[in-house]
Amino acid sequence: MLNISLIRINEKIDFYKYESFKILEKRTVSKILIQIMTVFFIIGFLAMFLPWTQNIRANGNVTTLSPNDRPQTVQAVIGGKIEKWFVVEGQQVSIGDTIIQISEVKDEYLDPQILNNTNIQIVAKNESSKAYAQKASNLEDQLEALINSKNAKIEQNKIKEEQTYLKIQSDSIDLVAAMTKKEIALNQLNRIEQLYNEGLKSLTDLEVKRLSLQETNAKVIAIKNKINSHRNELRNIESTYISIVNDYNDKIAKSKSERMSALSSKFDTDATKNKLQSNYNSYEVRQANYYITSPVNGTVTEAVKTGIGEIIKAGDAILTIIPDEYKLAVETFIKPMDMPLLKIGQKVRVQFDGWPAIIFSGWPNSSYGTFGGEIFAINNIISKNGKYRILIAPDDSVNPWPKEVRIGGGANTITLLNNVKIGYEIWRQLNGFPADYYKNEKSKNVKVKVPLKKVK
């Protein structure tokens, strides 16, 4: 009773007659409860000094270490129509085994003789290229012959020029001699005329001298005409030189032009031939892709395309093959705040989905159903889910992973960090502090010299 009312009834009621009032009067705590609480307190206090392994827990899935060991999706290299299946789901296949046959659906590849026809075109273009090459070679020989002929003609013209020049010199010498004879004949005529006037010479002698003067004069005129003729011939020879050079230059330029045209045609033909050869190789590779084969040794798990006659496009997934031999790994994702705490080779405990396990987070050695692992790779680029991807490999120094684990299964990982006391870990968790990260690196092989004190 609280006894807070002004009207009291506690004096009018006998409380000892009622059992409920007797129980309410017993307010003392039981000694047994006090003992139990004391024991729990002592146990809890002592537990604060037990060791505890700090850890990072995350979820992930089973994968493989090597990308080559992961499920391989077989894709169509070219588009086509499904003609025949050679495998069924769950069947074992080896590298090179035929999986599916497809046929052509594009108009430009429907010709059944496309390889043979393309090869004929390649041979024709090859022969055409040889013909153009031979034509260019013949024109090169013709060009060389024209150059030699030009040089010979120029040499001949030069010889004629030298000969004509020598004739002019020879005629000039004859002209000087004829002029001398003419002068002598004139002097003799003058003396004969004087003697004839004096009656010492006859008229016959006078006429002989006059005739001799006329002959010498005629000879002088003839030599002069001859010299002029040679000079005209020399001018003609010089004109002929220019004509020869111009004529042969025109022929040489024409021959060079025809040769370049032949070479251009040859190069065009070679380009066309190479293009046809590329098309032929493409057709050959395309026909080889009508039969799609297995890239690995494994088991066919899922057929994406199934219908006979179904049209598939280049790059479409056809089926999935799981390799027979692979090395398991676990792919897990951690928060960015835990990223600095990890390093390559760090120990991890793994619990696989569907595998019975009893886990004590702080005592990994006392857990049951977990398997050892170590960090194999850490991605430095954050994933789309806002976390960092970690790849965990089996730890060969502890119990091996079970063979029943399959790729794609779930897994829980416990990354082991430092060993601390439980009390410290509770205090850290309550304050939201990160796990211990920084380490005091003790210097190795450091010798400290202590100064010696003098003994007094």
Tens of pLDDT, residue by residue over 11-50, are 666 666 666 666 665 555 566 777 788 888 888 777 777 7
> Is it the case that residue 366 has pLDDT exceeding 70?
no
Q: In this predicted structure, what is the pLDDT of residue 270?
A: 92
CB atoms within 10 A of CB 178: 21
CA distance 438 to 417: 12
Q: Is residue 108 part of a domain?
A: no
88-106 per-position pLDDT tens digit:
888 889 888 998 988 888 8
Q: What letter does residue 65 receive in the DSSP assignment?
A: S
Q: What is the mean pLDDT of residues 389-402?
A: 85
pLDDT at 267: 93
- Distance, CA of 54 to CA of 99 (rounded, Å): 51
Picking from 322, 346, 370, the residue at the C-terminal end of a domain is 322
pLDDT band at 448 (very low <50, low <70, confident <90, very high): very low
Shared domain for 274 and 129, answered yes or no, is yes
Q: What is the structure's pLDDT at 455?
A: 35
Amino acid at position 281, single letter: N
Instruction: Locate 361 and state its tokens.
Output: 């987070």
H-helix or E-strand containing 273?
helix 203-288
- Confirm whether 34 is domain-assigned: no
Q: 84 with 132, same domain?
A: no
Residue 147 lies in a domain: yes
Residue 443 has what pLDDT?
38
How far is 102 from 394, CA to CA, in rounded Å?
Answer: 42
User: Nearest CA to 407 among 315, 323, 305, 316?
Assistant: 323
Pair (130, 278) in one structural domain: yes
- pLDDT at site 433: 63
Mark whether 134 and 252 lie in a shared domain: yes
* CATH code for position 249: 1.10.287
Residues 333 and 318 in one domain: no
More confident residue, 212 or 358: 212
pLDDT of residue 271: 93
Residue 318 lies in a domain: yes
Query: Model confidence over 99-138: pLDDT tens digits?
Result: 898 888 888 888 888 889 999 999 999 999 999 999 999 9
Q: What is the pTM of this model?
A: 0.55
Let me know if residue 265 belongs to a domain: yes
Task: Give the CATH number of the domain where residue 304 resides.
Answer: 2.40.50.100
Whole-angstrom CA distances from 340 to 330, 380, 434 are 20, 11, 10
What tokens does 381 get?
Answer: 């680029």
Same domain, 81 and 60: no
75 and 63 in one domain?
A: no
- pLDDT value of residue 382: 86
CA–CA dist 284, 274 (Å, integer): 15
Q: What is the chain's Cα-based Rg?
A: 60
Helix then strand count (H, E) for the chain reads 5, 14
Same domain, 139 and 275: yes
DSSP, collapsed to helix, strand or coil, labels residue 227 as helix
Predicted local confidence at residue 449, as pLDDT:
40
Q: Are residues 301 and 330 in the same domain?
A: no
In total, how many domains does the chain have?
Answer: 3
Q: What is the mean pLDDT of the chain?
A: 81
Give the domain extent around 75: 71-103+290-322
pLDDT of residue 456: 36
Give CA–CA dist 304/85, Å, rounded: 12
Give the whole-angstrom CA distance, residue 126 versus residue 120.
10
Contact of 348 with 416, CB cutoff 8 Å: yes
Together in a domain, 338 and 273:
no
Residue 318 and residue 219 share a domain: no
Question: Which residues lie below 8 Å from residue 342, measured CB to CB, with a gap of 6+?
Answer: 56, 334, 375, 378, 390, 415
Q: Which two tokens stand for residue 59?
A: 């979820």
Tell me, what's the pLDDT at 65?
A: 84
Residues in Cβ contact with 208 at an 8 Å cutoff, skipping those fewer than 6 apart: none
Tokens of 199: 């009656």
Query: 80: exposed, middle or buried (C-beta count within 10 Å: 0-12, 13-18, 19+)?
Result: buried
Q: Do 297 and 336 fall into the same domain?
A: no
Q: Which CATH number does the domain housing residue 425 bear?
A: 2.40.30.170
